[in-house]
Structure 1
Amino acid sequence: MARAPEGEAAQHPEGEVFRARVLEVKETTGESAVQDLVKTSQLITVEILTGPLKGKKIEVPNATTGNPAYDLHFQPGDQVILWAEMENGRLRDVFISDYARDRYTRYLAIAFILCLFVIGGRKGIKAVVTLGITGLAIAFVLLPLLLKGYNPIGVTVLVCAAVSALTFAVVGGINNKSIAAIIGTTGGVLVAGLLAFAAGTAARLTGFAEEEAAMLLYIPQETFFDFRGLLFAGIIIGALGAVMDVAMSIASAIEEVKKANPSAGRLTLVRAGMNVGKDVMGTMSNTLILAYTGSAIPMLLLFMAYQTPLLKVINLDLVATEIVRALAGSIGLIIAIPITALTAGFLINRPRKRRFVAKKYPEAPASRGRIKQAEVPEPDGWANYPRPNNLPHR
């Protein structure tokens, strides 16, 4: 557990964020405080596009130091984000915070949704709905509860179980296939979380491997955080998507086998599910490993450039955290395969209850007023009714 030090909580300046368009850029060159670098100062004229100052044109200075990690270079027509401090409705101070990138991410999101609609059809529409449900659950349930200091692992497991249940119910309907996928997903995620907790505790992972975790010490809410719990919660969420994919693939395959061969028994269905799971297992495990490796490429390049000894690398808190994250998620994915196969084989092969079908008898002749129910003939009277030609007459 950790808490922000007394009196050291970060105080954010009161201000507003606006979108603006660059109209004109004037560049001047001067000597840099950094050796052998040239400092460029830009005087940028922008037009505010949002907020109460919409349409107002102002000039904003923009200094660069030659460091590409921090420098921003603008051209006329660029859209930028302004951070402005207001006082009595007037601008007190303003600077350019960053490029406006949301337009391009919005275009990419639209392309993603169109691909789902065109290729997936109704299933694609359902996928968009479930994606929205997942986003709402994270934004309005998971994160607010974590910010209030609730147990990270417990909250995350409950949210993941609810998200998986809603996702499978919307995509596949409420049936045995979805129930089997939910059980398999929940089991796999729980295993991943428990393994991460056990390995992380034994390896004494701190939960401060990322800079953002340390910054939580200074938030104004002064919340007590279980940083190890946050680490394990992140591992559970990271494994959820891959485990859901595997569970639904296996449950769907078993259902299709049962439809194609109604006489298939439980053992046959379980074997079919395990075969599908074994094929998916290798690729999905690689997916998790490659996803975590892809986010750590700059760090790995640093280790290689400075020829850091392997013994030191694998014992760093940051590296050990990523190893535990990848391996725990992969093991949870693997465990979800037999759980889903066994559950789906049992549920999908359950015998259905036969419905009683009433025998149809000749209709009673129509009569005025109230319609009388046709009388069922006595057994001795069956001989008076017409019978098929291929049956012997009694």
Structure 2
Amino acid sequence: MDRREVRKGRVLQKKSKLELLIYIATIIFSVLFLFIGNSVATKGLTVFNGDDFGETVVKAKIEAITDRISDDYSLAGDTTMVKNVQVTFEATLLDGEEKGERVTGTQIIDGMLNIGTPEVEQGDKVLLVAYEGQPEMEWQFMEFVRTDKLLIFGLLFILALLVFGGIKGLNTILSLVFTCAAIFMVFIPAILSGKNIYLSAIVICLYTIVATYLIINGFNKKTLTAILGCFGGILVSGILTIIVNRVLELTGYVDEESIYLTYISTGTPIDLKAIIFAAILIGALGAIMDVSMSISSSLWEVKEKSGATSFNTLFRSGMNIGRDVMGTMANTLILAYIGSSLSIVLLLSAYSTSLIYLLNREMIVVEILQALVGSFGILFAMPLTSFICAIIYKENSERIHDEPSVKIE
């Protein structure tokens, strides 16, 4: 083994140790971010403790059905029969202060409102609610417990990631956990406690970009260029959202849920326009990250395999790759938004007397805006990532051609 190979081996060994330290530091930083961010976001938050609603919600298991009353009737001038059902049951409480006790509860199915709601059966796990101020605790059926089965489905997804992705799949799971935790432990509580929604959304996006890339791909040139390109795409999306909000004179009242948000008692009234801003940014983040990493990784392979190191060659290659990815990513955003609101779109289409009125409804406008602004973010991330890659990869073209990624495999 000559000196050149020995020196190269030592360089790679030192680099691997440094990258491992950065990987561990990213995990530690993510944990600290979640705990510190949660403590700041939940300061003064009282929404989740149920004090404002005067209700107690517990999980229970149905032990026996004791009674069932059915009432059939028809509305005036209508021959269609409507059935109301009241089911009385005994259940064992599975959590709460009275855990283990056997209680009596009722399920009321209104034929006009609960179309298709199944009746409880023995062995079902349900959520029961009791309202304060009553002489005795009267437990009422609230909802079926679905999280247990959903957890099984999630475990199957995790297993598939591990089988097909190996260590990379494990890192993917870890990044997903941190991303979801950041949303539900930091971002959501921050909104409900009256914090600045614009700032909270930006912080969450920046954290998600950096943490996800570093955990999955490690600290290297590919990650650096993808992070910078993604920052640019998100910045463009954010600026466009603010501008379009003003131009289109949006109010933020896109549906009934938006109206209910204004009734929540927070230190500062929830800014519904800021909610639109956050929804667009977070909704477009995944697609922009995908495009940035696809271009960055592809250009590195072009540089390594073909020896193409000139700025013009790398930039043109990045633009060609970006054009291929651009169409599918734009379709991904548009189809995702249409699919998530398909029922509402169908309802509005069926009961709208004018197509012009339908297209100008704020709910529809916001859905279109989300897809367009997200697509603009993809479009701008494409040349920006290509430009940054061409600069960084070109400047390092004469160095040792070693693999830049963290190999925790």
Measured against the shorter chain, the TM-score band is 0.7 to 0.9
The question of whether the paired residues in 2 share the 8 Å contact of 1:177 and 1:348 is answered with no
Matches within 5 A, 1:260-299: 260-299=305-344
Is 1:215 the counterpart of 2:256? The answer is no
Corresponding residue for 2:41? none
1:265-324 CA distances to partner (integer Å, 9 max, x unpaired)?
222222222222111111110111011111222222224433532111111111111111
Structure 1 residue matching 2:137: 3-state secondary structure: strand
Distance 2:255 2:107 in 1: 30
Corresponding residue for 2:238? 193
Deviation at 1:17, TM superposition (A): 2.2
Is 1:28 the counterpart of 2:69? The answer is yes
Distance 1:276 1:159 in 2: 28
Distance 1:86 1:148 in 2: 24
Corresponding residue for 1:375? none
1:228 is matched with which residue: 273, 289, 293? 273
1:142–1:52 distance in 2 versus 1, CA, 3 Å: closer
1:263–1:318 distance in 2 versus 1, CA, 3 Å: closer
Amino acid at match of 1:260: K
1:130-156 CA distances to partner (integer Å, 9 max, x unpaired)?
111212222233233333433322331
Amino acid at match of 2:250: L
Corresponding residue for 1:110? 155
Corresponding residue for 2:102? 57
Corresponding residue for 1:363? none
TM-score, normalised via structure 1 length = 0.81
1:310-339 CA distances to partner (integer Å, 9 max, x unpaired)?
111111111111111111111111111111
The question of whether the paired residues in 2 share the 8 Å contact of 1:205 and 1:317 is answered with yes
1:13 is matched with which residue: 32, 37, 53? 53
Corresponding residue for 2:82? 37
Is 1:175 the counterpart of 2:220? The answer is yes
Deviation at 1:227, TM superposition (A): 1.7
Is 1:81 the counterpart of 2:127? The answer is yes
1:263–1:65 distance in 2 versus 1, CA, 3 Å: closer
Pick which of 341-350 and 214-223 moved more.
214-223
Larger CA Rg, structure 1 vs 2: 1
1:22-52 CA distances to partner (integer Å, 9 max, x unpaired)?
2222322224485631222211222222233
Distance 1:212 1:349 in 2: 51
Corresponding residue for 1:334? 379
Deviation at 1:205, TM superposition (A): 0.7
1:173-230 CA distances to partner (integer Å, 9 max, x unpaired)?
1111111111111111111121122112111111110322211222232522322122
More helix by share: 2
Percent of residue pairs bearing the same amino acid type: 33
Amino acid at match of 1:182: I
Distance 1:302 1:141 in 2: 34
1:189–1:264 distance in 2 versus 1, CA, 3 Å: same
1:183–1:242 distance in 2 versus 1, CA, 3 Å: same
1:129 is matched with which residue: 174, 190, 215? 174
Pick which of 183-192 and 254-263 moved more.
254-263
Amino acid at match of 1:169: L
The question of whether the paired residues in 1 share the 8 Å contact of 2:58 and 2:128 is answered with yes
The question of whether the paired residues in 1 share the 8 Å contact of 2:291 and 2:322 is answered with yes
The question of whether the paired residues in 1 share the 8 Å contact of 2:352 and 2:358 is answered with no
1:91–1:108 distance in 2 versus 1, CA, 3 Å: farther
Unaligned runs of 5+ in 2: 1-49, 401-409
Unaligned runs of 5+ in 1: 1-9, 356-394
TM-score, normalised via structure 2 length = 0.78
Corresponding residue for 1:241? 286
1:145–1:21 distance in 2 versus 1, CA, 3 Å: closer
The question of whether the paired residues in 1 share the 8 Å contact of 2:309 and 2:393 is answered with no
Structure 1 residue matching 2:87: 3-state secondary structure: strand
Deviation at 1:95, TM superposition (A): 1.1
Q: Report how many residues are paired.
A: 345
Corresponding residue for 1:371? none
Structure 2 residue matching 1:121: 3-state secondary structure: helix
Pick which of 212-221 and 272-281 moved more.
212-221
Distance 2:133 2:341 in 1: 43
The question of whether the paired residues in 1 share the 8 Å contact of 2:201 and 2:278 is answered with yes
Distance 2:269 2:84 in 1: 43
Pick which of 106-115 and 304-313 moved more.
304-313
Matches within 5 A, 1:82-101: 82-85=128-131, 92-101=137-146
Distance 1:154 1:113 in 2: 32
Distance 1:218 1:313 in 2: 27
